[in-house]
Amino acid sequence: MAGIAGILVPSSDENSDFLLQKMSETIRHRKCSTYHTLNRNDFRCLIVGGPAMEGPDDEIFILDKNPDLDFAEETDDVTSILEIFGAVTAIIDDQGVNLIRTLDGTRALYYGIKDDIFVFSSERKALWAIDIKQTEVLEPGQGLTRTWDGQQKVERFATLEKPPITQVSREEILEALRSTLEASFEQLRRNAKCAVLFSGGVDSSLAAVLSAKRSEDIILVTTRTEKSHDKTAAANAAAQLGLPLYTVELSSEIVWKTLPELIYTIETSNQMDVEIALPFYLAAKKAAEEGCTTIISGQGPDELFAGYAKHVKTFSEGGTRALEEQLWQEVSITHEANIDRDAKAIAAHGVESFFPYLDQLFVRTALSIPAVWKVNPDMEPQRKVIFRELAQSMGVPKDVALTPKSATQYSSGSAKLILTSIMENVEDFGALSKKRAARRVQGVLDAIASEKLPV
């Protein structure tokens, strides 16, 4: 597990060690415990993170990454760094502090300024811990330089360009998808003990199949309620794949107990984010208890291959170009809308996350596919048509690949159970109808958040 936190202050600041200690304690679940210090003129930079490489003239180079993944040769060259999957980098040299976030966006980096203090960290809560409430996020493909004398510049080194729609055959595009996805999963070390966030749907089933071909020790973990769709789907799919399935069963009591820590962990009380993150958070906890070091997520295919009902509507009403543009817009913000939340929920239990479907070559290939190969209103299921075909060609049983599935918060039952839990535990809610209570859920989540999150 890795994380990073740092602070750049005037050398005369006597509180710098104390401030960094508070930040590192806040993200101690990320197990970043190696301290580095560099002085220049009248300024001092302190960083806690993983092992560092030292260059000439005392430069420090820290790459915050998942140790269960294989990377290309590490270097401080910006172009090479941006090609690494799932990393952020801090380089401290004669110029100052240089921060870089790779283009895939699966690892976040936040920063903030207060008086003469510049700080950065893998999570916002580390900045909040030292009373810096106004935070910024480094976007994927961006670099930030903070000079020793306080000058700051943010530059974009790489951009996800919208690819043109391919003119090649369906067979050629399937082969391109296969090869790029195989390459993504090849990054997984064979000696890593991994868990797949598993629902029994096509996304997580394909992730399980490909992970099992590389990792020597893999389990499936599902979180769901007793009557949820995922109970039967996950059990049936796991049996067909021949992989061990571990189940976390949700209850009203567990949900109510978990909500405060979950909201603090994902740094938001937005209702949809809480509903989605809840099963991931508890699944990661179970995986950590079983000794897993990396959680593999199936996040991505819904945005890449049109997996939601709204995509069918867009296709039916607006046609091919409308859907292709919609998918492009959704993929462009998925790091902000989905990945940052999921990664924090997973990291809370000291395990790494891996999002293989967000490998940039796979993403570009998927976005180049015509919408008519992704959605077919005359088929069942109507969505992710070519992706289901891909999954079957790579080893997912046909009935698993073609099983329709709703969004996580509905298939796992977490959305309904959060409402039930609130009605059972919040005064006066028990007298409300479910419909009226549902309209007040966000207010309860906000009240819970006010205990720890900045207002």
Does a structural domain hold residue 258? Answer: yes
* Whether residue 152 is found in the same domain as residue 206: no
Extract the tokens encoding 407: 């969004």
| Domain presence at residue 162 | no
Residue 42 sits in a domain whose CATH number is: 3.60.20.10
Give 196's strand partners.
220, 296
Give yes or no for residue 223 having a pLDDT over 80: yes
What span, in angstroms and rounded, lies between the C-alpha atoms of 117 and 134?
Answer: 13
Q: Using the predicted structure, report yes or no on whether residue 264 has a pLDDT greater than 80.
A: yes
Tell whether 104 and 244 lie within a shared domain: no
CA distance 110 to 112: 7
| Inter-helix orientation angle 360-367/170-185, to 10° | 160
Per-residue confidence (pLDDT) for residue 60, from 0 to 100: 83
Averaged over 116-134, what is the pLDDT?
Answer: 94
Q: Is 454 a member of any domain?
A: no
Indicate the pLDDT class of residue 67, thresholds 50, 70 and 90: confident
Which pLDDT score is estimated for 229? Answer: 81
Residues 409 and 279 in one domain: yes
* pTM for the model: 0.94
Residue 60: inside a domain: yes
Query: Distance between CA atoms of 400 and 402, rounded to whole angstroms?
Result: 5
Q: Average pLDDT of 20-39?
A: 87
Supply the DSSP string of 139-208, one letter for each residue: PTTEEEEEETTS-EEEEE------PPPP-S-HHHHHHHHHHHHHHHHTTB-TT-EEEEE--SSHHHHHHH
Tell me which residue of 213, 215, 214 sits closest to 241, measured CA to CA: 213
| Residue pLDDT, tens place only, 2-17 | 789 999 988 888 888 8
**What would the DSSP string read from start to end of 347-414?**
HTTT-EEE-GGG-HHHHHHHHTS-GGGT--TTSSS-SSHHHHHHHHHTT--HHHHT-----HHHHSSH
- Looking at the structure, do residues 83 and 217 belong to the same domain, yes or no? no
Q: Single out the residue in 129, 156, 183 at which a domain terminates.
A: 156
Question: Domain for residue 437, yes or no?
Answer: yes
Q: Binning pLDDT at 50, 70 and 90, where does residue 61 land?
A: confident
Name the average pLDDT for the chain: 92
Mean pLDDT, rounded, for 352-363: 96
Question: Which residues 6+ apart lie within 8 Å of 196 measured at CB?
Answer: 204, 207, 208, 211, 218, 219, 220, 221, 295, 296, 298
Mean pLDDT of 17-32: 90
Tell me the pLDDT tens digit for each residue of 68-106: 998 654 454 565 666 778 888 888 888 889 999 999 999
Residue 20 has pLDDT above 80, yes or no: yes
pLDDT value of residue 57 = 64
Q: Specify the range with the lowest mean pLDDT, choosing from 17-21, 273-277, 328-332, 388-392.
A: 17-21
At 36, is the pLDDT very low, low, confident or very high (cuts 50, 70, 90)? confident
pLDDT tens column, 385-424: 999 999 999 999 999 999 888 888 988 999 999 999 999 9
Q: Tell me, what DSSP letter sits at residue 227?
A: T
Question: Any idea which residue has 């997520």 for tokens?
Answer: 297
Whether pLDDT at 296 is above 80: yes
Of 156, 191, 217, the one marking the end of a domain is 156
Angle (deg, nearest 10), helices 441-449 and 252-266: 60
Residue 176 lies in a domain: yes
According to DSSP, the β-strands at 88-92 and 96-101 are antiparallel
Instruction: Examine the domain organization and report whether 306 and 347 are in the same domain.
Output: yes
Max CA-CA distance within the chain?
A: 70
Q: Is 114 helix (H, G, I), strand (E, B) or coil?
A: strand
- Residue position matching structure tokens 């006597």: 14
Do residues 182 and 74 both lie within one domain?
A: no
At residue 51, the pLDDT reads: 73
Average pLDDT (232-245) is 96
282, 447 in Cβ contact below 8 A?
A: no
Q: Is 397 exposed, middle or buried (0-12, 13-18, 19+ CB in 10 A)?
A: middle
Q: Considering its fold, how many domains does the chain have in total?
A: 2
Q: For residue 231, which of 279, 271, 193 has the smallest C-alpha distance?
A: 279
Close Cβ partners of 147 (under 8 Å, ≥ 6 residues apart): 95, 96
pLDDT of residue 14: 83
Checking if the pLDDT of 189 tops 80, the result is: yes
| Per-residue confidence (pLDDT) for residue 72, from 0 to 100 | 54
- Separation of alpha carbons 353 and 338, rounded Å: 13
Is 236 a domain residue? yes
Polymer length in residues for the chain: 455
Residue type, 361: L
Q: Are residues 201 and 303 in the same domain?
A: yes
Among residues of the chain, what percentage have pLDDT more than 90? 73
Q: Could you give the CA distance from residue 45 to residue 16 in angstroms, rounded to a whole number?
A: 9
Give which of 276, 269, 260, 301 is closest to 390, Cα–Cα: 301
What local confidence, expressed as pLDDT, does residue 452 receive?
A: 85
Let me know: does 371 contact 320? Beta carbons within 8 Å: yes
Looking at residue 78, its pLDDT comes to 60
For residues 175 and 152, state if they share a domain: no
Domain enclosing residue 95, as ranges: 5-156
Q: Over range 368-373, report the average pLDDT.
A: 96
Q: Are residues 119 and 38 part of one domain?
A: yes
| CA within 13 Å, CB half, 341 | 21
Does residue 306 share a domain with residue 236?
A: yes
* Residues 375, 382 contacting (CB under 8 angstroms): yes
Q: What's the pLDDT at 31?
A: 84
What pLDDT score does 62 carry?
86
Whether 21 and 102 share a structural domain:
yes
127, 156, 185: which is the final residue of a domain? 156
Which residue's entry shows tokens 């891996």?
A: 354
What CATH number does residue 435 fall under? 3.40.50.620
Question: Does residue 178 share a domain with residue 127?
Answer: no
